[in-house]
Amino acid sequence: MEALYLLGTIVSTFLTSLILSLLLHFRCFLGRLFFRTTAPVGSGTGEDSVTLYEGIVWHQRRRPVHHSFRYAVRYALIDLDLSPSPPPNHLSADDARRVAATSGSVSLLTIPSSVGYEQNPLSLYYCYEIEGSAQQLKKCIAEVTNTPWGERVIFVFNPNSDLIAKPLHVSPFMDMLGNWSIKASAPGEYLSVAISVQHPELGDYFTATLKVKRVSPSFGSSHSMFFYLMPHKVAIWIYWHAFKLWWKGVQFLQHPRYTNPSYKTDATIRDQQLQCCQGIGSDENKHQELKRGNDIDHCDSENAAREFIWTKAKWPWA
């Protein structure tokens, strides 16, 4: 049934995007004809609240088979405090401050929808804290979406470096036992995000990185054209390489809701244990103790209080 549903949504998305693509090009033609610009990113989002980035996403799997790929990507960094309204299906600035418990500005790094389609495996909220007359990046909020299953999880992490128990089924070729080691730099001229998967049996077997540079669109171009078909390209890369992994013989895993309905509770418990372990230091021996299931007596209650927020993600149309 899931395969039929996926096939149906691919066909309907293709037809919808085709129609909206024709309308977009027609609108751009009219804009150039009458010396006007086309609509900016998002619904009601002002151009001055958006910074454009362009760069590379790189994935590398080292076990049980070696597989790697990279693709060009474009992102928007949206100042949610300057934006007239938050992008659809994302947190507002006040919502993000409440989740991260910060007091400063909030920016959202995301791939805007294009011609009716959205594909955002990972969006990040950069939450700043007011310290005197300046602001410092204090926390990040990850918004992870597993598009084919229509699920999303939100959690707070330390951008300098953090370790999170995997809370979402993001690939049919990965089980739920791994931890995500994640690090994100503060947005500037350059921006980077690095995530590696630490597994109790496979070790540090998977890495994904995003490295982008701030850019300015060419004269006369709009944000709509800058991100034209960007979500579609991301989806093509993801599904094509999923097929290649299957072809290489990597085991296909069902969604854990069929095999372990309590996987969300399990992820929460593992993350609390993980944060307790981090609270007494980052020594690798202590992480090995945690993997073996040993109890940790001393716990950092602030770190252990992290919560996962699971929601439904709107798909395929933004």
Q: Name the DSSP class of 88.
A: T
For 32, the domain range is 2-312
Angle subtended at Cα 211 by Cα 143 and Cα 215, rounded to the nearest 5 degrees: 100
**pLDDT (0 to 100) of residue 37:** 45
AA letter at 1: M
Spatial separation of the C-alpha atoms in residues 306 and 272, rounded to whole Å: 7
Tell me if 80 is assigned to some domain: yes
Would you give the DSSP letter of residue 314? P
What pLDDT score does 115 carry? 81
Read off the amino acid at residue 187.
P
Give the CB-side neighbour count of residue 147, counting CA atoms within 13 A: 22
- In 3D space, the residue among 112, 110, 93, 97 whose CA is nearest the CA of residue 39 turns out to be 112
Do the domain assignments include residue 222?
yes
Domain-embedded: residue 318: no
CB 192 within 8 A of CB 185: yes
Would 216 be classed as within a structural domain? Answer: yes
CA of residue 148 relative to chain centroid, distance: 14
Residue 317 lies in a domain: no
Residue 153 belongs to a domain: yes
* Residue 132, in any domain of the structure: yes
Cα distance between residue 190 and residue 273, in whole Å: 34
Residues of the chain where predicted confidence (pLDDT) is lower than 70? 1-47, 218-221, 277-304, 315-318
Number of domains in the chain: 1
Q: Is residue 182 one of the residues assigned to a domain?
A: yes
